[in-house]
Amino acid sequence: MKLDKASPIGVFDSGVGGLSILKALQAQMPHEQFVYVADSSHAPYGERDADFVQQRAGHLLQFLREQHQVKALVVACNTATALAIHNMRSAYPELPLFGVEPAIKPAASLSHTQRVGVMATAGTLKSEKFQSLLNGLQTDVTFVLQACEGLADAIEQQWQHADNKAVSALCKKYAETMGAFGTQAGQMDVLVLGCTHYPFAMNELHALVGPDVQIVETGVPVARHTHKVLVDLGLLQTSGVGGVQLFATGDVQNLQHAAQMWLGERQEPWHVATLT
């Protein structure tokens, strides 16, 4: 299937977390149309096995390519990138595919204490892709890895419960488990958010680790790379009004509320279609 410059860019995640990537993509490419899918009836991916994540990723890719003829796809989920993107590239070799991964390399260069914290899902931290990324770094930095079981799901569900008490409690639990944050020797002075859901807890995490600790996430670097590749391929839209279509496989309420909060007033009221 030929790639068309006028076609939209597909973006998917297990839930609302990928909106943090979508926001950066929109800022970098304001004239583009996007189709975002939250696989919310199967979220979070980080606590699923590899076969399941690969099956869901393949299903969503097929939907985006065949129903919306997307010209590129951003896998806005660290776990799906780690476990499924190689299969997706094999299935659609002509399609530009972009994944996300914990930004441990730039974090290492930012650290003065040579100690960096990484919060991610268990699925991401255990994946061969992440271990290869970690082992390939030529650095003396020590990485403190923390699997944050339940945090992505708590972030996903916070709008249903109209509060973020569960999110705050889990952030506190995992930050304290990791050890001391700060700028002194032996402390972590950089924190990597290795799940696209976690930027939704940025305020809570900043309050826990302190103002001197840099928190690194992946939205802007992914958006810049996507922009560059589309320019090189002659597929970037440089005029017209951009927009977003939103789809969810489960309850649409979380995605509606998250889009209103995260993406702002650009296209309200947000309409979310249900995808089976």
> Which of 76, 84, 35 is closest to 218 using CA atoms?
76
- CB-CB contact of 252 with 269 (8 Å): no
Can 195 be counted among the known catalytic residues? yes
SS3 at position 75: strand
Query: What does the alpha-carbon distance between residue 201 and residue 205 come to, in Å, rounded to a whole number?
Result: 6
Exactly one of 195, 205, 258, 272 is catalytic; name it: 195
Q: In sequence order, which ranges of 31-150 are alpha helices (DSSP H)?
A: 50-68, 78-91, 104-110, 122-126, 128-135
Decide if 148 is catalytic: no
- Which among 20, 54, 13 is positioned nearest to 37, based on CA atoms? 13
Which of 15, 119, 131 is closest to 76 using CA atoms? 15
Cis ω before 96 (30° cut-off from 0): no
Q: Which amino acid is at 223?
A: A
Q: Specify the pairing of strand 9-13 against strand 33-38.
A: parallel
Among all chains, which residue has been given the structure tokens 């973006």?
Answer: 11
Residue 38 CB partners (closer than 8 Å, separation 6+): 12, 13, 14, 15, 16, 18, 246, 247, 248, 249, 250, 254, 255
Q: Which of 11, 53, 75, 77 is catalytic?
A: 77
Find the radius of gyration of the CA atoms of the chain.
Answer: 18
| Active site (catalytic) residues | 77, 195
